[in-house]
Amino acid sequence: MIRLIKSLMVIFSLVVLQSFLLIQDDSSAIIGVWKTGDGNAMVRIYKNGEKFQGKIVWLKEPNDPETGKPKLDKNHSEEANRTRPILGLVNIWGFSFKEKNIWDEGNIYDPKNGNTYSCTMKLINANTLEVRGFIGVSLIGRTDTWTRQVAK
């Protein structure tokens, strides 16, 4: 019985390793819906031409508590964009698949403060994505861990 359990553990380990290796070489592995680290939004990542981008498809609180109307991008630096809804907003764009689970050369827009940052994304496993926004060099920035949302 112990021999059977050990054999099953080895097989399981090989399957997990193989699936991770397949993810690393699949440029479309990030395509899907991801919940942000704070759980307040979901972003659908998709391919647009040769690049990857994403838009906000769900908000925990989609309406402004004061007006009861959909939340707007009121913190945007350009006044003309302050009346656009946050729901449906493209907030990540320009990503290229670089190598083994890394997408780089992208940008991320944070509607909470109206700032745009350089960004890189790293797929940790099939359901975990590290999103790092930064100014200038990657050392000066913040990493958020997103979780893949499976269709129910």
SS3 category, 17: helix
Alpha-carbon Rg for the chain, nearest whole angstrom, is 19
Please tell me the pTM assigned to this model.
0.82
Give 78-112 pLDDT, tens digit per residue: 999 999 999 999 999 999 999 889 999 999 999 99
Contact partners, residue 47, CB within 8 Å, separation at least 6: 28, 31
The architecture of the domain spanning 2-149 is Beta Barrel (2.40)
Q: With pLDDT > 70 as the criterion, what percentage of the chain qualifies? A: 84
- Is 50 exceeded by the pLDDT of residue 53? yes
CB 30 within 8 A of CB 129: yes
Query: Measured between alpha carbons, how far is residue 60 from residues 38, 39, 43, 57 in Å?
Result: 10, 8, 12, 10
Q: Give residue-wise pLDDT tens across range 29-45.
A: 999 999 999 999 999 99
Average pLDDT over residues 42-71: 97
User: pLDDT-derived band of residue 12, with 50, 70 and 90 as boundaries?
Assistant: very low
Domain ranges of the chain: 2-149
